[in-house]
């Protein structure tokens, strides 16, 4: 039996979060959803995720601040940032922090799937 | 009021009659037996005619000459020898002097009256006001030359109410009817503003105020002052239009500052639509299609499309160029809708919004779009005022509350406040503290709030600035 890769989606926008959840489940991933960075950090999922998909602009902690905290805590999980903002500054910060992908909303689903595939071990492809 | 051609004809006629009278005097004076009484009658005629035509000095002169002639004739005829002639002479002289006295008094009053009339007519011409006399129940009216000119009728044409109706656009006839109905009810002051269409197709705006000047049981006459206010109305319309254009330009400029927010608000549902559509296809393409997942995805596509279209409609309404329309609206609802427009702006600037709404659902008579424009402006200003504040200390308070007959909206920031020296200039056009600011935001806010019968003011201290506006509550 092949273990399905676990992906966490962190986005404060309900429709975006639920849509991505459905899309990734349709591709066979195990998906965990969180509506804020705080909720994710407080959960057990932190240690077990194979990949994170996080929005940048969120009330409270934003995606970049959350990623910094994860790195500081010693977690080294691949992160894909998604944002609806056209501000170029967060992209540079995200890439400097070592983010795998940075996608501007709205993005093609194929781009997201390709990002996920390239960040995960090819052996664990569904 | 003075018809020049008419008075000229009269003068010619009077000179002709005067010549006849003078001839009469000469002829009568030659006739021995009719000198006394007949001569006096003709002197009286001459005196009255002179009183009508000449100045007061000439009238005095004529009366002295006439009396002199009577005395002269009396002595020339040796009337003192005859008792009957003597009494006749005294009678004639008494009558002549009494009538001369009355004629002079009439002449003086008539002169004063004519002078007053000329002054009144001149004053009316100067202030472009005509007079109108009317009775609620009578068809016939009277008016001054100035009023006839305003309505573009010949000055000497007898005036009727139908003539007024004929020049008034049909849709404004009910206003005129209501005006005359008020006159029927004998109201102490009645007023009307309506339009006229002249025979040349020109539109005039007139204003009339009338008060009763004569009241008896069966007669109740009004005197009205009629003014052509076309220039004033046209100037007001131009001002109104210019102000509306400026307000629109400023609104579009503000929207320009919100493009990032707008893009964000549209990109979110677009992302959901894209992902849901691809997810749906994937669920259906499985060996065993998952219909429920596909249906859920389709529902999300619908919801997201609706949300995106709501964002677009809101923005389009703000960008649309339209005349303000005041309707009864809930200030809380307008505020909530506005907050959804600036929602991203706040989170982008790491601003914590604290919204406190007046619990009673109070209504105000406002143009929704213009009021949103004011609130957006105040919120954007507050966001900019907090740029230098630590991220977690940026608090925007928006409060609505009822205060007696007003509802107040307050936008408070946690910035460093406004320099007290700048406060008096804040609402002046082109006053700005920003490098890229136009300085029209707050002046436009003030003109919008004042247009709605409200007021706007600012309070500031070291804890931040508070912009407040009050609008009159709509009576239940």
Instruction: Measure the CA dihedral B368/B373/B379/B381, to 10°.
Output: -160
Cβ distance of B283 and A58 shorter than 8 Å? no
Q: What is the pLDDT of residue B362?
A: 85
B398, B322, B400: which is closest to B367 by C-alpha? B322
Cβ distance of B300 and A58 shorter than 8 Å? no
CB B133 within 8 A of CB B141: yes
Q: Which residues contact B168 (CB under 8 A, 6 or more apart)?
A: B176, B194, B195, B196, B197
Assign B308 a pLDDT band (cuts: 50, 70, 90).
very high
> In this predicted model, what pLDDT tens digit does every residue of B178-228 receive, in sequence order?
999 998 888 889 999 999 999 989 999 999 999 988 777 677 889 999 999
Q: Which residues contact B65 (CB under 8 A, 6 or more apart)?
A: none
| Residues within 8 A of B (CB atoms), A 78-117 only | 82, 84-87, 104-110, 112
| Shortest CA gap B330–chain A (Å) | 28
- Find which of B259, B272, B343 to mutate to test the A interface (most A CBs within 10 Å of its CB): B272
Q: What is the pLDDT of residue A126?
A: 44
Cβ distance of A107 and B271 shorter than 8 Å? yes
Q: Chain A residue closest to B302 (CA)?
A: A15
Q: What is the pLDDT of residue A125?
A: 44
Q: What is the mean pLDDT of residues B42-69?
A: 83
- Find which of B279, B284, B285, B343 to mutate to test the A interface (most A CBs within 10 Å of its CB): B279
Bridge partners (DSSP) listed for residue B211? B223
Helices (H) then strands (E): counts for chain A: 5, 5
| Shortest CA gap B461–chain A (Å) | 28
Q: Chain B residue closest to A16 (CA)?
A: B272
Chain B residues within an 8 Å CB radius of A26: 279, 282-283, 286, 293
- Choose the closest CB to B274 out of A22, A87, A109: A109
> In this predicted model, what pLDDT tens digit does every residue of B11-51 receive, in sequence order?
787 778 777 777 777 776 665 555 566 777 778 888 888 88
| Shortest CA gap B312–chain A (Å) | 16
Q: What is the pLDDT of residue B289?
A: 94
Q: Which among A45-54, A112-121, B293-302 has the top mean pLDDT?
A: B293-302
d(CA B92, CA B71): 10
**Cis amide bond preceding B13, omega within 30:** no
What percent of chain B shows pLDDT beyond 90? 38
- Choose the closest CB to A86 out of B263, B274, B283: B263
Chain B residues within an 8 Å CB radius of A82: 271
Cβ distance of A59 and B260 shorter than 8 Å? no
- Choose the closest CB to A106 out of B274, B283, B300: B274
Cβ distance of B260 and A23 shorter than 8 Å? no
A51-55 and A79-83 strand pairing = parallel
- Choose the closest CB to B271 out of A58, A87, A106: A106
| Shortest CA gap A44–chain B (Å) | 27
B31, B30, B26: which is closest to B46 by C-alpha? B26
Mean pLDDT, chain B, integer: 86
d(CA A83, CA A54): 8
| Shortest CA gap A22–chain B (Å) | 6
Q: Is the pLDDT of residue B304 over 60?
A: yes
How many other CB atoms sit within 10 Å of the CB of residue B475? 7
- Choose the closest CB to B278 out of A23, A59, A105: A23
| Residues within 8 A of A (CB atoms), B 346-365 only | 347-348
Helix ranges restricted to H, A27-126: 37-41, 63-72, 89-97, 109-119
Q: Which of B8-17, B102-111, B387-396 has the lowest mean pLDDT?
A: B8-17
Structure tokens at B376: 């957006």
Cβ distance of B276 and A19 shorter than 8 Å? yes
Q: What is the mean pLDDT of residues B377-392?
A: 89
- Find which of B275, B277, B284, B305 to mutate to test the A interface (most A CBs within 10 Å of its CB): B275
- Choose the closest CB to B272 out of A19, A25, A86: A19
| Residues within 8 A of B (CB atoms), A 19-78 only | 19-20, 22-23, 25-27, 57-59
How many other CB atoms sit within 10 Å of the CB of residue A56? 23
Q: What is the pLDDT of residue B3?
A: 45
Q: What is the mean pLDDT of residues A22-47?
A: 93
Cβ distance of A107 and B273 shorter than 8 Å? no
ipTM of predicted assembly, 2 dp:
0.91
Cβ distance of A23 and B300 shorter than 8 Å? no
Q: What pTM did the predictor assign?
A: 0.62
Q: Which residues contact A87 (CB under 8 A, 6 or more apart)?
A: B260, B348
Q: Is the pLDDT of residue A25 over 60?
A: yes
How many other CB atoms sit within 10 Å of the CB of residue B309? 13
Q: Which among A65-69, A96-100, B122-126, B244-248 has the top mean pLDDT?
A: A65-69
Q: What is the pLDDT of residue A124?
A: 46
């Amino acid at each position: 039996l092949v273990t399905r890769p676990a992906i966490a989606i962190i986005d404060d926008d309900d429709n975006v979060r639920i849509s991505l959840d459905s899309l990734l489940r349709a591709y066979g991933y195990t998906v965990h959803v969180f509506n804020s960075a705080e909720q994710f950090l407080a959960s057990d999922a932190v240690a077990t995720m194979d990949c994170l998909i996080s929005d940048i602009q969120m009330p409270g902690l934003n995606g970049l601040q959350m990623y910094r905290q994860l790195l500081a805590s010693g977690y080294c999980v691949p992160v894909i940032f998604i944002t609806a903002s056209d501000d170029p500054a967060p992209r540079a910060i995200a890439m400097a922090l070592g983010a795998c992908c940075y996608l501007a909303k709205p993005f093609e689903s194929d781009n997201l799937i390709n990002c996920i595939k390239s960040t995960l071990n090819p052996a664990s492809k569904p | 009021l003075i018809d020049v051609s008419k008075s000229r004809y009269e003068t010619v006629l009077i000179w002709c009659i005067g010549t006849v009278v003078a001839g009469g005097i000469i002829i009568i004076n030659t006739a021995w037996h009719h000198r006394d009484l007949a001569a006096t009658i003709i002197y009286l005629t001459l005196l009255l005619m002179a009183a009508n035509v000449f100045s007061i000095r000439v009238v005095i002169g004529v009366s002295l000459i006439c009396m002199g002639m009577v005395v002269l004739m009396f002595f020339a005829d040796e009337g003192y020898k005859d008792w009957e002639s003597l009494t006749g002479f005294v009678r004639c002289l008494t009558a002549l002097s009494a009538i001369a006295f009355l004629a002079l008094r009439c002449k003086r009053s008539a002169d004063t009256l004519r002078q007053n009339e000329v002054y009144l007519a001149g004053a009316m011409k100067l202030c472009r006001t005509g007079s109108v006399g009317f009775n609620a129940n009578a068809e016939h009216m009277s008016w001054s030359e100035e009023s006839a000119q305003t309505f573009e009728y010949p000055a000497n044409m007898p005036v009727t109410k139908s003539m007024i109706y004929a020049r008034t656009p049909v849709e404004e006839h009910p206003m005129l009817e209501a005006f005359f109905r008020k006159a029927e009810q004998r109201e102490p002051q009645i007023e009307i503003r309506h339009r006229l269409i002249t025979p040349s197709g020109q539109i005039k705006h007139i204003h009339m105020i009338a008060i009763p000047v004569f009241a008896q049981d069966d007669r109740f006459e009004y005197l009205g002052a009629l003014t052509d206010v076309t220039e004033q109305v046209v100037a007001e319309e131009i001002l109104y239009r210019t102000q509306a254009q400026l307000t629109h330009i400023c609104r579009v400029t503000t929207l320009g500052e919100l493009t990032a927010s707008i893009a964000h608000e549209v990109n979110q549902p677009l992302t959901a639509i894209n992902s849901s559509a691809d997810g749906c296809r994937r669920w259906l393409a499985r060996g065993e299609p998952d219909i429920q997942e596909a249906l859920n995805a389709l529902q999300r596509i619908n919801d997201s499309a609706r949300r995106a279209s709501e964002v677009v409609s809101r923005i389009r309404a703000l960008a649309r160029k339209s005349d303000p329309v005041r309707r009864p609206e809930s200030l809380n609802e307008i505020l909530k809708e506005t907050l959804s427009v600036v929602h991203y702006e706040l989170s982008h600037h790491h601003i914590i919004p604290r919204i406190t709404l007046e619990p009673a659902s109070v209504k105000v008579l406002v143009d929704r779009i213009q009021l949103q424009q004011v609130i957006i402006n105040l919120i954007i200003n507050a966001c900019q005022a907090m740029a230098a504040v630590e991220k977690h200390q940026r608090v925007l308070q928006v409060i609505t509350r009822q205060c007696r007959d007003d509802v107040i909206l307050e936008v408070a920031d946690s910035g460093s406040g406004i320099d007290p020296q700048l406060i008096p200039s804040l609402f002046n056009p082109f006053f700005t503290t920003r490098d890229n600011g136009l300085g029209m935001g707050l002046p436009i806010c003030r003109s919008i709030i004042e247009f709605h019968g409200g007021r706007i003011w600012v309070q500031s201290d070291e804890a931040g600035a508070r912009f407040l506006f009050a609008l009159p509550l709509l009576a239940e």
